[in-house]
Amino acid sequence: MKSILFVIPWKASLINCGDIDVSQYIERAPENVVALATYLNAQGARVEIADLNRTLLSCKGDVECCLNLLKQQCQRFNPDIIGLSFFTARFEYAADITTYLRSVFTDKTPLIIAGGVHPTLLPTITYEYINFDALIIGEGELPLAAILKGEPLNQIQGVFLPGQDIPTAADAIKNLDCLPFPNWDLLDKNFYAQPSYLISYTQLNRVMPLSFSRGCMYRCNFCAHSCFLSARCHSPEYFVEMMRLTSKQCNVNSFLIQDSSVGNFKEEWSKVCELLISSKTNYNWWANLRVNQVDEDFLRLLKQAGCSKVFFGFESGSQRILEKMNKKITTEQCYKAAELCHKLDVPFYSSYIVNYFGEEEEDLRSTEEMILQTCPTSLAINKFSPIPGSVDYNKNEDSIKPYLTSIHNWTTLGMLLSPVLFGNMTSERFDYWFKRLKALKNKINNYEDN
């Protein structure tokens, strides 16, 4: 079987970063790449990961140094295939890395392919800017295994080649329990497991991310999470064992559960909690939860099983905006979820989106009121940018495209830094409200654990 080197492009904030306190480097360990590499290794492939976030940080932000170390790894490992996985926020850096890799191999160039959210959702745009040999559409396990076995690219479902018209998604793994447990030794696990502010703004924690499920049962207009992933989950027994092995391998007892909502599979997650309680584990974990899935018994069970904080996407204090988002929740449910958290002493993180379509000052005033009345433990204020693959992007593509004239602008869009205002107010009034809400966020987060 052939060999593959996974390359994780760096993020913008690390370029020319100099000496920084690594505890301030807030980045989740790339669980998806580690899991995929583990699967392919179990199938018989030689596998390595080039984590260019970690490498660039060690080079103090010197891109040339980082690329030189990548070259050395390529020369040592001599892969048959190089695979890049990236979001839109790293589009231009994936291009820089691919151009460099093409210059490194003077005799026989490995097959250079890409997968992940951006290539899956924007395959044609990806080819316009980057000379990949192939793209993987959807989940990567089955098509990558076929490529590594030497099957013809044009006969593998999920492989999209240059010049083809219509991409077809790969078959998904139906039974997630058939996957091997992630082997965290494939990257610098100690770097990601070291104390950081990943799950708290004021306290250091050793934490690793884990996923119980894939996909989402909802389709919020601003989100692309469910557009190519069907919703499935592990068995509770498998997941608890994965927590145990990750805890042992990485020397952590804190986990960030990456599911869009643990309430999507409420019965199964309740069983996870029961297993954690009965086995008397000392794990603590942080999880996403939709407000329409909250009730007192479930929240009490989460806390008893080690849940140290829940994340709620309140998104707006305006019911009108929530309906435009197709969020499928009510402001009443947001207030009720916060009330239950305070009653049971469960810390919670609430997130809001501003600059949404048709948003007016009164909507932002309602958001401020919800923040003040619900008193979250920690808070996020996010400026809206239409994400490729989302309903909002697809419906408003014509108004967004004039801005997307370069790969840098695409990257900026992926970083949620679009300069376009979508609300019904002047830029001066939006800036006033954005600064006001961000100041409120900073005040709350500075006292998170007090």
Domain count, the chain: 2
Task: For residues 199 and 152, state if they share a domain.
Answer: no
Residue 43 has pLDDT above 80, yes or no: yes
What's 74's domain CATH number? Answer: 3.40.50.280
pTM metric for this prediction: 0.93
In percent, the amount of the chain with pLDDT more than 90 equals: 79
In percent, the amount of the chain with pLDDT more than 70 equals: 97
Output the pLDDT for position 353. 97
> What value, to the nearest 5°, has the Cα angle with vertex 445 and ends 442 and 447?
115
CB 353 within 8 A of CB 332: no
Q: What is the mean pLDDT of residues 46-62?
A: 96
Task: For residues 143 and 212, state if they share a domain.
Answer: no
Helix ranges restricted to H, 401-426? 407-414
Q: How far apart are CA 120 and CA 103, in angstroms?
A: 26
Residue 58 has pLDDT above 80, yes or no: yes
Residue 226 has pLDDT above 90, yes or no: no
Range of the domain at 432: 195-384+422-445
Output the pLDDT for position 403. 85
The predicted-structure confidence for 168-216, as pLDDT tens digits, reads as follows: 999 989 999 999 999 999 999 999 988 877 777 777 788 999 999 998 8
Task: For residues 44 and 133, state if they share a domain.
Answer: yes
Output the pLDDT for position 224. 78
Task: For residues 128 and 227, state if they share a domain.
Answer: no
DSSP track, 113-145 = EEESHHHHH-HHHHHHH---SEEE-S--HHHHH
* Cα dihedral 334, 26, 217, 418 sign: positive
Mean pLDDT check: name the lowest of 62-71, 130-139, 285-294, 391-400.
391-400
- SS3 for 193? helix
What's 251's domain CATH number? Answer: 3.20.20.70
Task: Classify 44 in phi/psi space as left (phi over 0), alpha (psi -120 to 50) or beta.
Answer: left
The bridge status of strand 207-210 relative to strand 254-257 is parallel
